Amino acid sequence: MKELKILAIIAALVGITYYGIEPYAHHIMHPEVKAADFGFKDLKNVDTSLAGNVDNGKVLVEANCIACHSMEAAGYAKTMLDTDAAAAYGVVPPDLSSAGRIYDKNYLANFIFDPVSAMHLSHKYPAGGAKAFPMPSYNWMSAQEIMDVVAYMQSVSPKVAEKDAPKATYDAACGRCHSMSYAKAEATTPKDAIKTYMGATPPDLSQYIKSRQEHYLHGFINDPQLLLAGTSMPRVGLSEKAQEEVITYMEETGDSKKAERESVGLWVMLYTFVFAILAYLWKRKIWSEVH
């Protein structure tokens, strides 16, 4: 009977903590962040409903982009070594081959119009501030011209096999700044340059799938400022599918035994339950005379 009373007290305390204190801690002291916005509805500088002209987009890309960016898929090679590019810009400019595949169309168009606004980095690069963002705004372009550029980027993006997509997307979206030691991958931007550019060395992402968990990563990648106000991490602008691919790669690299671990966990719980019953019966047998 004593055991049942103790169990009832423990259950009551757990219930009070779980249904009373825990909701207050999470929903009042630390409100839940709204779901990730993969439509990037707050970005309204460009009318993305316009149909882009691929041929004109090619002309505009050649005139405005390839001086800094490579686009290997379209035959535009790097204009300088990564170390030289990092020294010049603070970070290695991305190859634009996969931009049309991995970035949301609305985000990409508005990024071209005003990078700082699209990335939610106005706190780091305020208008008229001493530090300017490496990529200029192309707000002098018409909405039609910007959509022409987007259409061209989408047209040259190579198709990627489903099994290769997670790594390819991670490399394109994250690999310039973040290392992944578990995959033996170093950030393409040298550490000294990226530290100066960002204000701190971006973390190695090998274990972030475990330390932050998938739900947090979805919100953080979509809009870092909502979860870590003031961070130098930009709003990346990945489409929902591309973001899933990034997180899949982080899981494949940093938590490759997840399925095995979860299946073992069920057996451990079953063992604990059976052992608890046996222990109780053994206790009753040994201490029956005392009771």
57-83 residue pLDDT tens: 999 999 999 999 999 999 999 988 989
From CA 137, how far away is CA 129, in angstroms rounded?
15
- 29: pLDDT confidence band, cut at 50, 70 and 90? low
Residue appearing with tokens 């057996």: 267
Rounded alpha-carbon distances, angstroms, from residue 170 to 63, 140, 176, 250: 28, 31, 10, 8
pLDDT at 263: 80
Percent of the chain with pLDDT over 90: 58
Is residue 242 a contact partner of residue 103, using CB atoms and an 8 Å limit?
A: yes
Name the nearest CA neighbour of 50 among 159, 173, 141, 140: 141
pTM: 0.80
pLDDT at 16: 79
Name the nearest CA neighbour of 57 among 70, 68, 66: 66
Residues 132-160 have a mean pLDDT of 94
From CA 62, how far away is CA 57, in angstroms rounded?
9
pLDDT tens string 93-122? 999 999 999 999 999 999 999 999 999 999
Residues 6-26 have a mean pLDDT of 75
| Mean per-residue pLDDT over the chain, rounded | 89
pLDDT at 291: 58
Least confident of 5-9, 19-23, 117-121: 19-23
pLDDT above 80 (res 21) = no
